[in-house]
Amino acid sequence: MRLLRAGLFALVYYGGSAAFSLTVGLAVAMLRPSRAMAVARGWSVWMVRAAEIILGMRVVVSGVEHIPSGAALIASQHRSAFDTMIWFKLAPQAAFVMKKELFRIPVYGAIARHAGMVGVDREGGGTAMRAMITGARAAAAAGRQLVIFPEGTRVPAGAQVPPQPGIVALATATGLAVIPVATDSGLVWGKGPFAKRPGVIHVAIGPPIPPGLRREALLARLVQEWRVLEVQAGIADNAAGGAP
């Protein structure tokens, strides 16, 4: 039954995404770029709902009161592709800090650009960092919630990867507090079409880390807050046991 559910969801996820991109996405990218954010949010909310219905997945969110309606800097752990969808539900105007290469994907890249996502070229050095900061400042000035995955890559449940210093540059440039987020999404939303299964995904949002901390202090505090959230939400136990 689990494989049947996963197969059905894969059909909806990949087939639906392709159809959506070639119809609504392409039309918006070419004719109504101002609606790009609404399209990105609609697709993400639809996919999360489909996962709940088809896979029997459930999302438990704690600490949502820490997400303001205005500008914010959200530093989330990255455990699966699910993490890039749930924030369209949790943050009213999410703006992801994402790899610049993703902007080259047909239709998707155009939607991301028009939706005001912030691109970062990991090999671009100082010039790329300045471009990222400029984009982040513009998003913050527009009252948007910046979402960044400071680990820089997807990390398996239970593993620990130190956050990259880009989060420090963003915090310094925008003057925003850093909102830590822990999740165990990878235990339910695995990589590959048949690696998704019923279960609970926890998204634990912590209180903001005040601005003004120096680089090492901020990075250490972020890791500390992640660990606290993992324990509070039971994420640490889930990762150790390998199941939600």
Give the pLDDT confidence of 165-220 residue by residue, as tens digits.
Answer: 899 999 999 999 999 999 999 999 988 888 898 999 999 999 999 999 999 999 99
Rounded average pLDDT over 46-50: 92
Per-residue pLDDT tens digits for 99-135: 888 888 877 888 888 889 998 877 767 777 888 899 9
Total domains in the fold of the chain: 1
Q: What residues make up the domain containing 193?
A: 2-241
Instruction: Compute the distance between CA of residue 111 and CA of residue 108 in angstroms, rounded to an integer.
Output: 5
CB-CB contact of 183 with 205 (8 Å): no
Tokens of 6: 């996963």
87: pLDDT strictly greater than 90? yes
pTM: 0.90
What CATH number has the domain bearing residue 121?
3.40.1130
